Amino acid sequence: MEIIYNVSLMQRKADEWRSAGKKIGFVPTMGFFHEGHLELMRVARKNADVVVASIFVNPIQFGPSEDYNRYPKDIERDKKKAQDVGVDILFIPSVEEMYPDGFQTKVHVEKLTKHLCGLFRPGHFDGVTTVVTKLFNIVKPHVAVFGEKDYQQLLVIKRMVKDLNMDVHIIGVPTVREADGLAMSSRNTYLSPEERKSALCLKKSIDMARDMVKKGESNASIIKKKVEELITSYPFTKIQYISICDPDTLEEISQINDKALIAMAVFVGNARLIDNAILEKVEKGDRI
């Protein structure tokens, strides 16, 4: 596996691969790899001839009171994990390399960013779409892989790619979970052992909501109230939002007809955790 720190070197390597007819798969990350990231890399491997993963903790997608300065890092461990899953190039640019003096351009997706996390993290999605656009222009991938845990991010990126005619195919990969159901996240390392137990409330409340819908409940307020009660019954929790919304537009809905998205952000201690699932009256596994 090759490590590249430099934008123009990465661009040259991508050009070489493209000229040789190789299909480039790309996994953008902020590092501190867990199974969720490795799964994205495996999917990229299956869908491309060569795989690039990037590690870049993107300052412009963090708010002033967020965790940019304490975001977990372990580059040596990441290098080993990426190598083990067959990544060809690990691209690790510095902040100066990505945002040199004079940088002043942003990419903005209009409506989808106004809901869910967008309501509480102003500017966050502009930071994401801007850095992902830059990374696409640097790595020149044919295919890029993102996790469904960041459901809104995935939708925003798909929209941006479509709207700006970017020639890259976006693949979404289901959330990878710990054995007890907690969605894998680099931010789980912020949890104390007691908070780690409480963090299970996200998945438990999602499972309860799915069950309610399967049993015929279609009133979103009733479901949200039950979810809220369950989450707040766990210590160290503070709900930022619980949303039941249209899975395509992310607009809140009051009645679940066919299917809906349940998405939530909950602080457990200092860790802001997110999770989501599709609520369906008849789930895929139930269909004959």
* Token representation of residue 159: 């929209």
58 binds ligand PAF (CB under 6 A): yes
Question: What is the smallest separation between the CB atom of 124 and ligand PAF, expressed in angstroms?
Answer: 9
Dihedral angle over CA of 66, 70, 74, 78, nearest 10:
0
At residue 173, what is the residue type?
A: V
- Inter-CA distances, 60 with 39, 92, 144, 219, 223, Å: 26, 17, 21, 38, 35
CB neighbourhood size of 190 (10 A) = 20
141 binds ligand PAF (CB under 6 A): no
Give the residue, chosen from 14, 117, 132, 156, that forms a contact with ligand PAF under the rule CB under 6 A. Answer: 132
176 binds ligand PAF (CB under 6 A): no
Is 37 a catalytic site residue?
A: yes
User: What SS3 class is residue 262?
Assistant: strand
Give the residue, chosen from 39, 88, 150, 195, that forms a contact with ligand PAF under the rule CB under 6 A. Answer: 150
Give the residue, chosen from 53, 128, 202, 250, that forms a contact with ligand PAF under the rule CB under 6 A. Answer: 128
* Token representation of residue 156: 């925003």
Question: Where in 12-31 is the site for ligand PAF (CB under 6 A)?
Answer: 28-30
Name which of 212, 204, 202, 221 is nearest 272 in CA terms: 202
Question: What is the smallest separation between the CB atom of 218 and ligand PAF, expressed in angstroms?
Answer: 32
Q: Which of 37, 115, 124, 142 is catalytic?
A: 37
Enumerate the active-site residues: 37
* Residue ranges in contact with ligand PAF by CB under 6 A: 28-30, 58, 61, 128, 131-132, 150, 153
